[in-house]
Structure 1
């Protein structure tokens, strides 16, 4: 018994010494829910059709993931840093992206307490880190309650991103990055001689070509300010087309401004965003189209797709509220709207110019600091900006972080 205790103490000492030299943290989220989702479509010509699904869904409050992050002290206030993060489906144990082991994040870099951090690799966009996780009461949940329903580019990530982030200075912090090959599948809008609108497929998701101009490149930037109950932020995203697919197209870009204020009894959220010359993300969602014979889940294959479409613009709005209920509960609510411009009428076979509105309610209950129960519900009219397509979703789930 004494030998066992001695061995345990020695092992603990070795682990402590190792972690003091090179701090490495294993972390993750396991999130699963029972969900009911219904899509219904109707118009005066075709009548009404619909489809629904009830069953287990993965990562509806937060995407299930595991990861490693670490820092090594290099002396003089400098450190080597890294983060590797992989998404998975707890329902069947598979990776959420079969093409990538670390599909969520995969980067390394250097940091200095006085000068900030320089990183390279697959990283979250600034909108993801500064906006979605901060100015949405549902924290960009994978369910339809999340802000990505209207702000489709809110949760974007970039491959091959070189970024610099300042240290926090009197509550202010900023970040900027450039991607040499963004890793987003792309589509290019063209108009035929007869005036019809078509789409040409561009680069595949993970393509990185030798010719510099044969890559879809990107830029992400933003700044935030935090002071007590006040949080303010502005972000900008831009994707540049592969000119070897279709030349002469402009970049597609978007910005978001927003913030929160915590009154103690309740916290309020407000965001406004606009994307122009196309769609920064969620392209398949808008392009897939809905027919009376085949209503499929429009959110099924949307992640990372970008549409280059000259003149197309979408304004996005969000108002939200969170309020504590008792010692362990939290009530959540939000309204979102995506407002496309008339340019969408050029591609009526895929989308329309209908305003998409989403109304959401939620409740979370913390069993502990790391485990919580959640119940969400939402209703979306003109989902995917398709006139007459409505979506209803309710769910109950459990989330554990480690």
Structure 2
């Protein structure tokens, strides 16, 4: 009897402490079959992990520090379901890894490997950054709205929400003797009230992917290897009943680009040098929730680029459209079908940019057209 009473007293004393702290294990598995109608001239069938959402598992938690402050952390690892390998170039916690302090009154400051402001704020107004994923990205994910790269060595601030308004920013250290070599900084904001969402963001990276220890890795995180990457954009989502309509504009300016993490070297013919590359992306998207279990979404993106080389300027362009149907089998499991089409148009550059490439396709097309289909299952835990 004495032991029972003692155990009850201990439980009564320690329970409030446990109630103020939490650690959550979570994850997501996205696996499916993809068909590419033209991959360097051939049809391609492949099993691919993480198109609508990257497959991942993670731990996140909080500790109450008193006075309205909490310690927070998150460790998140991406992986390939097909072979069990780690994602993001083989990093143990390649999706996110950070620790920080949070306050309902003052906001949150976190340190580590994190998302930039384009991903935090602007991406949610695009189809790929919201409900569709990889296949619906803008050409070569030039604006990072599909999270091609995370940012290392990062200090991030996220404000509280003031009457629907929230803002934040990041600064990523180069960890190099040359302070600006492979550093990054970004700012963003969103205003959400009722059926309306407005968002905008800006990012600059100096010498992205030029070093292994800098803000943007030179393996697994490559968007463009270049002298400088600058991206800004704005978007809006409006919900009317079961329908959500969206528009997003982004402008990506890359100086002295050498290569793309998606299609390799971007080298003009005839020994010319590429001095800069600018992408203007215009996207319209829509999603309709037919039932609580079923939605259909679609998007169209027009991208016009300025290709500035020592032998002149040209203006390649891309038309891209996508359609997705998703059905929930339960609260945690759904199946979906996707199709994405791209047509490369405009001026010829004499580089790999002249042929179509849907992000996530088996390879670049041998022509100006490419079509990719996907059938997949996704489970969350």
What is the TM-score normalised by the length of structure 1? Answer: 0.75
**Is residue 140–residue 147 contact of structure 1 (8 Å, CA) maintained in 2?**
no
Match for 1:386 among 347, 351, 354? 354
Q: Does 1:277 align with 2:254?
A: yes
**Is residue 336–residue 375 contact of structure 2 (8 Å, CA) maintained in 1?**
yes
In the TM superposition, 1:117-156 aligns within 5 A as 117-136=108-127, 139=130, 141-147=132-138, 149=140, 151-154=142-145, 155=147, 156=149
Distance 2:58 2:139 in 1: 23
**Is residue 140–residue 148 contact of structure 1 (8 Å, CA) maintained in 2?**
no
Distance 1:39 1:353 in 2: 24
CA positional deviation for 1:89: 1.0
Distance 2:294 2:259 in 1: 32
CA positional deviation for 1:65: 0.2
Match for 2:197 among 202, 213, 231? 231
Distance 1:169 1:62 in 2: 30
What are the Cα deviations for residues 163-197 of structure 1, in whole angstroms up to 9, with x where unaligned? 1111001000001111002xxxxxxxxxxxxxxxx
Match of 1:25 in 2: 24
Distance 1:177 1:164 in 2: 7
Match for 2:46 among 55, 58, 69? 55
CA positional deviation for 1:252: 2.4
CA positional deviation for 1:241: 2.7
Distance 2:48 2:204 in 1: 31
SS of residue paired to 1:168:
coil
Unaligned runs of 5+ in 1: 1-8, 41-48, 182-207, 291-307
Q: Does 1:84 align with 2:83?
A: no
Match of 1:43 in 2: none
**Is residue 125–residue 235 contact of structure 2 (8 Å, CA) maintained in 1?**
no
**Is residue 260–residue 266 contact of structure 2 (8 Å, CA) maintained in 1?**
no
Distance 2:24 2:339 in 1: 34
Relative to structure 1, is the Cα distance of residues 333 and 15 closer, same or farther in structure 2, using a 3 angstrom cutoff?
A: farther
Match for 2:284 among 306, 319, 336? 319
Could you tell which deviates more after superposition, 375-384 or 123-132?
Answer: 375-384
Relative to structure 1, is the Cα distance of residues 18 and 281 closer, same or farther in structure 2, using a 3 angstrom cutoff?
A: farther
In the TM superposition, 1:147-226 aligns within 5 A as 147=138, 149=140, 151-154=142-145, 155=147, 156-181=149-174, 208-209=175-176, 211-213=177-179, 215-226=181-192
Match of 1:197 in 2: none
Match of 1:369 in 2: 331
Match of 1:185 in 2: none
Could you tell which deviates more after superposition, 149-158 or 125-134?
Answer: 149-158
What are the Cα deviations for residues 338-396 of structure 1, in whole angstroms up to 9, with x where unaligned? 21114168599xxx742111110110001122111100001111297424432210011
CA positional deviation for 1:399: 0.6
In the TM superposition, 1:33-44 aligns within 5 A as 33-39=32-38
What are the Cα deviations for residues 13-69 of structure 1, in whole angstroms up to 9, with x where unaligned? 9997674242111111101001101336xxxxxxxx613321211011100000111
Match of 1:358 in 2: 320
Distance 2:131 2:204 in 1: 20
Match of 1:397 in 2: 376
Could you tell which deviates more after superposition, 133-142 or 28-37?
Answer: 133-142
Unaligned runs of 5+ in 2: 1-7, 212-225, 268-272, 346-351, 356-366
What are the Cα deviations for residues 258-295 of structure 1, in whole angstroms up to 9, with x where unaligned? 010001131101000101233999823354469xxxxx
How many residues are aligned here? 335
**Superposition RMSD in Å:** 3.3
CA positional deviation for 1:106: 0.5
What is the TM-score normalised by the length of structure 2? Answer: 0.78
Relative to structure 1, is the Cα distance of residues 237 and 15 closer, same or farther in structure 2, using a 3 angstrom cutoff?
A: farther
Relative to structure 1, is the Cα distance of residues 282 and 81 closer, same or farther in structure 2, using a 3 angstrom cutoff?
A: farther
Distance 1:91 1:232 in 2: 38
Relative to structure 1, is the Cα distance of residues 54 and 275 closer, same or farther in structure 2, using a 3 angstrom cutoff?
A: same
Relative to structure 1, is the Cα distance of residues 138 and 332 closer, same or farther in structure 2, using a 3 angstrom cutoff?
A: farther
